[in-house]
Amino acid sequence: MENNVEVIKQKLGPCGLHCSKCFAFATGEIHNLSQQLETLLGNFDNYAKRFADMLEEPIFSKYPDFKMFLHYLTTVNCGGCRKEKCKLFKNCRVRSCSEKEAVDFCFECKKFPCENTGFDEDLRKRYVIINNRMKEIGVEKYYDEVKNKSRY
């Protein structure tokens, strides 16, 4: 069980979202598995064309789009919200606010929940739920609950 709060803070942003599960996280699972899949597929382009004809499967004709998307997942390179401005949510104000308020997570702030996140309505609801849960059970237990779940 990972229970080192400093290690956990490198994985969870101040808002509580799991940065290391984000598609943009440089050393995250999505990034690493995308690199592996891109390597395993190698020069599949020629085969995709042939399979579209031989198998009469039109899905293979969409391979170039899939390949572009897969390559994108291998090139995004975010260090996480505690190291740099979020590359996913450009309007996010949580990191700068948490630094200004000197808190590790939003629930620790006397102003939580606030309207100063820059999040859309859905993400704001999620941030409130996440932070209320961390406040209720603690950061370490919350991380144990979410560490193996999908972020999306």
pLDDT attached to residue 84: 83
Is the per-residue pLDDT at 40 higher than 70?
A: yes
Mean pLDDT of 116-126: 91
Alpha-helix residue ranges (DSSP H) falling in 42-103: 45-54, 63-75, 94-101
Beta carbons of 51 and 60 less than 8 angstroms apart: yes
CA angle 126/128/130 to nearest 5° reads 70
DSSP state of 72: H
Domain boundary assignment for the chain = 1-20+88-152, 27-75
Beta carbons of 107 and 131 less than 8 angstroms apart: yes
Cα–Cα dist 59/47, whole Å: 12
Q: In this structure, which amino acid lies at residue 60? A: F
Is the per-residue pLDDT at 20 higher than 50?
A: yes
Mean pLDDT of 34-39: 97
